Structure 1
Amino acid sequence: MLAQYQANTQIVEMKVVSNGIGGTRWSPPQSGFIKVNFDGAVFGNLNMSGIGVVIRNNNGAIMASCVEKINQAYKADEIKALAALKALKFAHKLGSQNAILKGGSLGLIQPLKAEDHNLSPLGLLVEDVRLFANNFVRLLYSHIKRSGNSIAYNLAKHAIHIPDFQVWMEDVLSYIVSFLQSDVADLP
């Protein structure tokens, strides 16, 4: 199973693009790929968690986005792993074959990129993501700081305001548009 995973999944080095002012910026995926940004939020006082996913093409245009509210307060690393799995499933349902999975948790991205079995408490969730990755022809993993992942982060925070699951095709919430405009303002 691990050999099949390694054969079907290309692992790349972490790439973080600096905008020169201490943060990071969204950058378009290489030709033939989509970029799938994900994040999670925990609302401990309400015993709930949220997941946000946004999928964009190489022009920065939104292909789809979604938000899910989960009626359990997970640990931060657990909800991010669940968000990564939801992001892959969402991208796969859209028919994607080549994707860059991009999230703000270096503690998740590093184990996803590693070739060995993860024996940490997060290991089973990491293995779930790895197994689902077999549905893609090429899948790259990448870490990004929160400032470069603002759309997925704000979608995850919005989860508290929805009944359970919400999808937007070629769109996002209206208040998220300013984050999208900021991301693509300096693209060539």
Structure 2
Amino acid sequence: MLLQNISVLLVNNISKVKELCCWKPPAVGSLKLNVDGAMFFDRHKAGIGAVLRDDKGDVVLAASKIEYEVNELEDIELLAMFGGIQICANMGIRRLILESARLLMVNEVNASEASFSLLGNLVREVKMLKALFEVCLVQHVDRAGNEVAHKLVRNAWNVENLDMWWENLPEFVIQAVWLDKNL
């Protein structure tokens, strides 16, 4: 009886942890874009990582991009959102969920009032791109739910400009994609 109770507790706790922090697939018929930005201060560069997945968790597109003229973390995260949503709009995607671990930028993009921050023009551009979709939700995700995008951004300092993968994923993200699909 004790072993059964412990087993139930473990299953319930694992379910709660997964609900709070793990990547979740989008609804059927939608795609989910996870983005991340990072600064490489010692190299005077910044990077963007993005992964687009379907409702089964299969990767449609993954990318690592280097940026040179970025000095703030908020700037690079917003650029990641902008670039990702722009690619999705050009692909003709109709239903999109965009996730970022930077709550401040998620709130800026979701705010109904105009942004008066230094990034206001870019925030407006992201909002205009959102209007091109039938549905486009921008939401915050815990860092643990954004692991694949994080690994892609960490790769960006190796990239000359932009690396994109459509079918064969790079070795450094395969395990994280598998864990997202199977946990």
Q: CA deviation at 1:122?
A: 2.7
CA distance in 2, matches of 1:64, 1:54: 6
| 8 Å Cα contact 1:51-1:159 kept in structure 2 | yes
Aligned length: 169
CA distance in 2, matches of 1:119, 1:33: 32
CA distance in 2, matches of 1:46, 1:77: 18
Tell me the equivalent position of 1:80: 77
Give matches, 1:23-34, under 5 Å.
24-34=21-31
Query: Considering only CA atoms, is the larger Rg found in Structure 1 or Structure 2?
Result: 2
Query: Of the candidates 134, 140, 143, which is equivalent to residue 143 of structure 1?
Result: 140
Unaligned runs of 5+ in 2: 1-14
Structure 2 SS opposite 1:149: helix
Q: CA deviation at 1:53?
A: 0.7
Give matches, 1:79-158, under 5 Å.
79-158=76-155
TM-score normalised according to structure 2 size: 0.86
Query: Of the candidates 171, 174, 184, which is equivalent to residue 171 of structure 2?
Result: 174
CA-to-aligned-CA distance 1:151-185 (integer Å, 9 cap, x gap)? 11110111110110111003431111111111111
Q: CA deviation at 1:48?
A: 0.6
**Same amino acid, percent of matched pairs:** 25
CA distance in 2, matches of 1:117, 1:30: 30
CA-to-aligned-CA distance 1:12-71 (integer Å, 9 cap, x gap)? xxxxxx752796100010122100000111111111111111000000000111111112
Unaligned runs of 5+ in 1: 1-17
CA distance in 2, matches of 1:178, 1:104: 20
CA distance in 2, matches of 1:54, 1:133: 18
Tell me the equivalent position of 1:12: none
TM-score normalised according to structure 1 size: 0.84
CA-to-aligned-CA distance 1:84-137 (integer Å, 9 cap, x gap)? 001101212322111001111100111211111011223222112112222212
Pairing 1:60–2:61 present: no
| Greater helix proportion | 2
Structure 1 residue ranges, 4+ long, deviating more than 6 angstroms after superposition: none
